[in-house]
């Protein structure tokens, strides 16, 4: 077997550890008929499996409460309740009495329930499917004597590498950092939210390995190199030593780069660029504030709700936002309203959709669920008293949405005033430009918004019709495609004409070559991963805006992303010199880059 698996470098860092293979899928069940005399024994097996599953769930619940808090742990209550449901037990027993083996009897009942719930008219019941599936997998694994692959229940101190087909952002935020030191998945790309989160958590990750879960057995040790994107299976001592050396020199490079963190980002020909940080979790606030960023260009708030059984109330949200605003002490903090949907699904509370990325996500969901949304708006208006808060709306496609938000904002203000709560009434409101609709029609928003921010992760996805999380399409995810560059240019022209602030907060801004292109296109604000602040500042202080502009003009005229990239690379090297992160890049995609 080839011991080196190659995937996408999704979050930098090198770690060594045992594999924790997570196959969280419903196992195949053979049809098994039992004789009448075996029926009592099968029923007893069923009861024992239910009892063992409940024990496991209580254990997982307690562990989750310990490292993620009581609200996260409450997710498991619904599953425990299912296992205590007498009717469910009676249905399975009835199948056993018709001579089905316990596992088949249980499998049939669960399949029926899952189908029934998935089609239910009530969203609340449809949302139970995820819990049913978890119970289905857990009990069947016990009945079939399969190894226990529990998503979040890895012993502390295991320092394991989690290998799984795909991870949800909700599961990622729940991971116990003392147990899991790295992530490897078959699916996913650099711009999928699991990758973005892994970078925020500082958890090395290699995604897009395609078939790692079927090639590994779970007994191996691996080196995971999240900077290059490889997994080395059962490494020799010499290989481990080599990777340790690499990890050390990476740490040194990073330390060397730190001197640029405090640099003023001015190009050699005197153009001032503002560098903000993206913050995904409130806990990141202090480290992001110390990264050299001049504020927050994007705070992703949806990670406060994904994976939660109960949504955070106004006070909890207020504290989370205020924590970030306080950490940045008066510097601007752009807080984006909940962008749930797509690949960021709450554990419960979201209907299944055929096309989630084109579905009921982000501002669409918030506008339809006005009471839920107003809790966030009230918390934001209160947190705005702590500093320079700006509210940003995701996935906007029409001005109507902005107008509806303004109505809800004025309701939120009245509600706060009625209660005598303190808040700032005049918080700036901006929109993300992350659909071709918003970019083409940017002028229609200009008079009614305070700023724009380009979300290139989604803009590329929606412009090129390339799923941002699909590993098979990673090389087609090309931010330098002429259509994308033209949409960015158009947005820039509208912002300049309307004298509105414009930032880019997608992953593109964190990439040296792309940052160079963006400055060339006229961008004067970039919001990047905190880890990339120093690097992007180094790029800015080394290049000339004039050279970037002529490189961007050339890229805009290129027929393909690959040609655009070649030209940009040549121009960039002429300005910056050669650098390790410029080699090994594949044409297009954010696939082969060195930094996050």
Question: What gap in Å lies between CA 101 and CA 121, rounded to an integer?
Answer: 33
Q: Does 401 engage in binding with ligand PEP (CB under 6 A)?
A: no
Q: What are phi and psi of 328, to 5 degrees?
A: -95, 5
Single out the residue of 9, 169, 282, 455 in contact with ligand PEP (rule: CB under 6 A).
Answer: 455
Binding window for ligand PEP (CB under 6 A); candidates: 69-77, 158-166, 243-251, 455-463: 455-463
Q: Please name the residue ranges forming H helices in 221-369.
A: 237-257, 285-289, 314-327, 362-368
Size of the site for ligand PEP (CB under 6 A): 10
Taking the C-alpha atoms of residue 463 and residue 440, their distance in angstroms, rounded to an integer, is: 11
Using DSSP bridges, classify how beta strands 274-279 and 8-11 pair: parallel, antiparallel or unpaired.
unpaired
Residues 326-355: x where in contact with ligand PEP by CB under 6 A, - otherwise, as a string? -------------x----------------
* 505, interface contact from ligand PEP, Mg ion, none, CB < 5-8 Å by kind: ligand PEP
Size of the site for Mg ion (CB under 5 A): 3
Binds ligand PEP by CB under 6 A, chosen from 14, 60, 298, 405: 298
Q: Does 455 bind Mg ion (CB under 5 A)?
A: yes
What CA–CA distances, in Å, run from 63 to 67, 69, 72, 83, 153? 6, 9, 10, 19, 7
The least CB distance from residue 593 to ligand PEP, in Å, is 16
Strand pairing report for 221-225 and 205-207: unpaired
Catalytic residue among 149, 165, 193, 386: 193
Name the minimum Å distance from CB 127 to Mg ion: 23
CA distances from residue 564 to 26, 465, 485, 551 in whole angstroms, order as listed: 46, 20, 10, 9
Q: Determine if 503 is a binding residue for ligand PEP (CB under 6 A).
A: no
Minimum separation from the CB atom of position 461 to ligand PEP (A)? 8
- Indicate if 366 belongs to the active site: no
Q: Measuring CA to CA, which residue among 302, 397, 300, 282 is closest to residue 345? A: 302
- Binding ligand PEP (rule: CB under 6 A), the pick from 165, 300, 382, 390 is 300
Nearer to ligand PEP by C-beta: 22 or 305? 305
> Which of these is catalytic: 366, 492, 503, 505?
505
Is 491 a binding residue for ligand PEP by CB under 6 A? The answer is no
Give the residue with the Cβ less far from ligand PEP, 205 or 247: 205
401 binds, among ligand PEP, Mg ion, none (CB under 5 to 8 A by kind): none
Give yes or no: 193 in active site: yes
Q: Report the 3 state secondary structure along 15-64.
A: EEEEEEEECCCCCCCCCCECCHHHHHHHHHHHHHHHHHHHHHHHHHHHHH
In the three-class reduction of DSSP (H, G, I as helix; E, B as strand; rest coil), residue 10 is classed as strand
**Residue ranges binding Mg ion (CB under 5 A):** 434, 455, 458
| Residues annotated as catalytic (active site), given as ranges | 193, 505
């Amino acid at each position: 077997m080839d011991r080196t698996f190659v995937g996408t470098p999704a979050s930098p860092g090198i770690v060594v550890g045992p594999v924790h293979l997570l196959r969280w899928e419903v196992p195949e069940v053979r049809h098994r008929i039992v004789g009448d005399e075996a029926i009592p024994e099968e029923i007893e097996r069923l009861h024992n499996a239910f009892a063992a599953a409940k024990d496991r769930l209580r254990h997982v619940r307690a562990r989750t409460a310990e490292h993620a808090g009581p609200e996260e742990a409450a997710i498991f209550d619904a599953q425990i309740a299912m296992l205590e449901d007498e009717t469910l037990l009676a249905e399975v027993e009835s199948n056993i009495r018709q001579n089905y083996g316990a596992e088949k009897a249980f499998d049939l009942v669960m399949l029926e329930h899952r189908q029934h719930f998935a089609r239910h008219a009530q969203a609340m019941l449809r949302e139970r499917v995820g819990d049913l599936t978890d119970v289905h997998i857990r009990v069947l694994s016990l009945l079939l004597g399969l190894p226990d692959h529990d998503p979040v229940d890895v012993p502390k101190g295991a320092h394991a590498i989690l290998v799984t087909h795909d991870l949800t952002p909700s599961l990622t935020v729940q991971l116990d950092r003392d147990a899991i030191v790295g992530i490897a998945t078959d699916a996913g790309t650099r711009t999928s939210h699991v990758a973005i989160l892994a970078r925020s958590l500082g958890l090395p990750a290699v995604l897009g390995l395609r078939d790692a879960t079927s090639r590994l057995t779970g007994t191996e040790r691996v080196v995971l190199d999240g900077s290059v994107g490889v997994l080395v299976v059962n490494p020799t001592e010499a290989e481990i030593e080599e990777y340790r050396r690499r990890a050390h020199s990476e740490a040194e490079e990073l330390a060397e780069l730190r001197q640029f963190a405090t640099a003023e980002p001015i190009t050699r020909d005197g153009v001032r660029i503002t560098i903000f940080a993206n913050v995904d979790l409130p806990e990141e606030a202090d480290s992001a504030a110390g990264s050299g960023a001049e504020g927050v260009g994007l705070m992703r708030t949806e990670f406060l709700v994904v994976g939660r059984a109960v949504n955070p109330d106004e006070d909890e949200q207020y504290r989370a936002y205020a924590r970030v605003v306080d950490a940045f002490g008066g510097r601007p903090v752009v807080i984006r309203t909940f962008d749930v949907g797509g690949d960021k699904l709450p554990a419960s509370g979201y209907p299944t959709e055929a096309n989630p990325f084109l579905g009921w996500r982000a501002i669409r969901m918030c506008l339809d669920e006005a009471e839920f949304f107003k809790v966030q708006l009230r918390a934001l208006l209160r947190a705005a008293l702590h500093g320079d808060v700006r509210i940003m709306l995701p996935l906007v496609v029409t001005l109507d949405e902005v107008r509806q938000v303004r109505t809800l904002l004025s309701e939120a203000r009245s509600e706060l005033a009625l209660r005598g709560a303190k808040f700032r009434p005049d918080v700036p409101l901006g929109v993300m430009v992350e659909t071709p609709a918003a970019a083409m029609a940017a002028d229609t928003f200009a008079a009614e918004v305070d700023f724009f921010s380009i979300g290139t992760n989604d803009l590329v996805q929606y412009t090129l019709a390339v799923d941002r999380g699909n590993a098979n399409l990673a090389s087609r995810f090309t931010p330098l495609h002429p259509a994308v560059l033209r949409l960015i240019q158009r947005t820039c022209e509208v912002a300049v004409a309307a004298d509105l602030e414009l930032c880019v907060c997608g992953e593109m801004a964190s990439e040296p070559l792309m940052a160079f292109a963006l400055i060339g296109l006229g961008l004067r604000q970039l919001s990047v991963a905190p880890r990339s602040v120093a690097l992007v500042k180094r790029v800015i202080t080394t290049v000339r805006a004039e050279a970037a502009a002529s490189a961007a003009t050339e890229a805009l005229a290129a027929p393909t992303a690959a040609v655009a990239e070649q030209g940009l690379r040549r121009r960039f090297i002429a300005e910056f010199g050669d650098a390790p992160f410029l080699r090994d890049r594949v044409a297009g995609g954010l696939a082969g880059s060195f930094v996050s």
